[in-house]
Amino acid sequence: MDFATIFGPFVAISAIAIAFVLDEGNPVSLINWPSFILVIGGTLGATMVAYPLKKFAMLPVFFWQNFKTDSSNPQEHIDLFVNLADKARRGGLLALEEELPSIADSFIRNALMLVIDGVDMDEVRQVLENDNEMTSQRHHVGIAMLSTMAGVAPAMGMIGTVVGLIGVMGHLSDPSQLGPSIAVAFLTTLYGSLMGNLIFSPMANKLKQKDKDEIFIRELIIEGILALQESENPRMIRQKLESFLRPGLRSQN
């Protein structure tokens, strides 16, 4: 679980509440369910128009990805390829077939199968790079959708404020109702800005970073696979793959 996704909004909302209290306000007055429903419903409706229904239905998945922790460790992948290279030196590439069941990463497993089957190196690279590109394109659907929501939410907040002000006009004959009605009207602007800049936009940025991290790992894997296919020395493979890492993450071997 990536707790930063939870604690980030909590810290920001807490700061707003504390500032409101210090200004002698009541944080409870910032809660207005009709305004919240208007912004959420309007944002979801506009996003639904912008994307095909099948892709829009994946929105919960995109949200959940923000809470998942990426467990990929580049050094573990490097160690794996060094061990595979050592085994291939002793028994040839066909000896790697018995290692396939123990490899959990399907990208590595499928790439190894191509190498074991004797597929040409250029074709192996093309297949793996195409897989990389398609994976990144799938990631960008979620990024684009959350970015759309980040742009729509503040606009829906403004629309909610206009709707609220229309209601205020109906209370002009009763000045005592104007203050509370105007305050509620402006809450939708607050909700729209908070959702756009505190939730949807940061989540889109987090998915961008996750996409970069995964593609980085996959590029490292591609170089490892091609080095295996060329039967390079295990020590050379380690040095080649560790060039992807900053010096502090490299092994001392």
Cα separation, 106 vs 110, whole angstroms: 6
| Burial degree of 253 (CB within 10 A; 0-12, 13-18, 19+) | exposed
Q: How many domains does the chain have?
A: 2
pLDDT (0 to 100) of residue 173: 66
The reply to whether 79 and 27 lie within a common domain is no
Top mean pLDDT of 78-82, 87-91, 143-147, 168-172 is at 143-147
> Cα 250 from chain centroid?
26
Q: Cα dihedral angle (238, 240, 246, 248), rounded to 10 degrees?
A: 30
pLDDT value at 29 more than 90: no
Q: By percentage, how much of the chain surpasses pLDDT 90?
A: 42
Range of the domain at 25: 1-31
Whether residue 34 is predicted with pLDDT greater than 90 in this model: the reply is no
Residues 1 and 53 occupy one common structural domain: no
Question: If pLDDT is split at 50, 70 and 90, which confidence band does 179 have?
Answer: low
Q: Average pLDDT for residues 3-15, to the nearest whole number? A: 86
- Give the pLDDT of residue 56: 94
Q: Answer yes or no: do 130 and 87 share one domain.
A: yes
pLDDT tens column, 201-234: 999 999 999 999 999 999 999 999 999 988 888 8
d(CA 203, CA 163): 29
pLDDT of 17 > 90? The answer is no
Range 153-177 average pLDDT: 78
26 and 48 fall within a common domain: no
**What separation in angstroms does the CA of 73 have from each of 1, 214, 238?**
16, 11, 15
Same domain for 105 and 205, yes or no, is yes
Question: What does the pLDDT read at residue 211?
Answer: 92
Nearest to 208 by CA among 135, 143, 146: 143
C-alpha distances (whole Å) from 36 to each of 9, 41, 43, 186 are 16, 8, 11, 12
Residue of 181 and 16 predicted with greater confidence: 16
Instruction: Report pTM.
Output: 0.84
Q: Which of 38-47, 62-71, 185-194 has the highest mean pLDDT?
A: 38-47
In a shared domain, residues 2 and 55? no
Pair 15, 82 in one domain: no
148 and 248 housed in the same domain = yes
Cβ proximity of 250 and 153 under 8 Å: no
- What are 96-124's pLDDT values in tens digits? 888 888 888 889 999 999 988 888 889 99
Contacting residues for 205 by C-beta, under 8 A, at least 6 apart: none
pLDDT at residue 253, as a whole number: 55
Both 21 and 123 in one domain: the answer is no
Looking at the structure, do residues 152 and 203 belong to the same domain, yes or no?
A: yes
pLDDT for the residue numbered 20: 79
Mean residue pLDDT across the chain: 87
Identify whether the C-beta of residue 216 lies closer than 8 Å to the C-beta of residue 67: no
User: Is the same domain home to 9 and 77?
Assistant: no
Q: Residue 174's pLDDT is what?
A: 65
Residues 44 and 5 in one domain: no
